[in-house]
Amino acid sequence: MMLVEIAPPHFDVEHDIAYATPNNFTGQSVYTRSGCYLHPEAAEKLARAIELARPLGYRIKIFDAFRPTEAQWVLWNHTPDPDFLADPRRGSAHSRGAAVDLTLIDAAAGEELDMGTEFDAFTPLSHHGRAEVSPAAQRNRMILLGLMSAAGWDFYQKEWWHYQLFQPRRLPLLSDSVLRVPMMPLRLSN
């Protein structure tokens, strides 16, 4: 299966692929390079979300998209928390190219909107509809939810940043081998 690379100039997005750096909950780089790919259907829906955000003065920043099954095992082995990570035996929507983790950026200021928590904050404060985060963060989460829903995405109740295709399990799980240039260290992708 061919995944679509999500990058300028075809997609007006910023990348901050968290698992390509040690700035993630594992404290180590999981990917050997920063890559951002989606299933073609998901890429179309992301393009729609980008179009909807633009006239409102927003851009999209992506933290993660396609996550090879090998990477899902690394994350699960570090923190086997089914509230925030899919058990790799069942498979993740990310490992099907059917999910994206993202936030909104103020296009004029170039700054991320306040969402009340950081990406991958494994806490109930990350859940949608939390009144314990500031009113500004609640508003920003609702804007993101509205944009993504209008573009045809489903959301995960426990993570304000996670959006996926409806019924992602209809798609196959994919390993790092589907990429022309691997994202995983050789020792993990064998």
Amino acid making up residue 82? P
- Domain locations in the chain as residue ranges: 4-189
Pick left, alpha or beta for residue 163 (phi over 0 → left; psi -120 to 50 → alpha; otherwise beta): beta
Q: What is the CATH number of domain 4-189?
A: 3.30.1380.10
CA distance 32 to 87: 22
Report, as residue numbers or ranges, the catalytic residues: 159
- pLDDT string in tens for the chain (190-residue length): 699 999 999 999 999 999 999 999 999 999 999 999 999 999 999 999 999 999 999 999 999 999 999 999 999 999 999 999 999 999 999 999 999 999 999 999 999 999 999 999 999 999 999 999 999 999 999 999 999 999 999 999 999 999 999 999 999 999 999 999 999 987 644 3
Q: At what angle do helices 40-53 and 135-150 cross, to 10 degrees?
A: 130
CA distance 88 to 163: 18
CA distance 156 to 65: 14
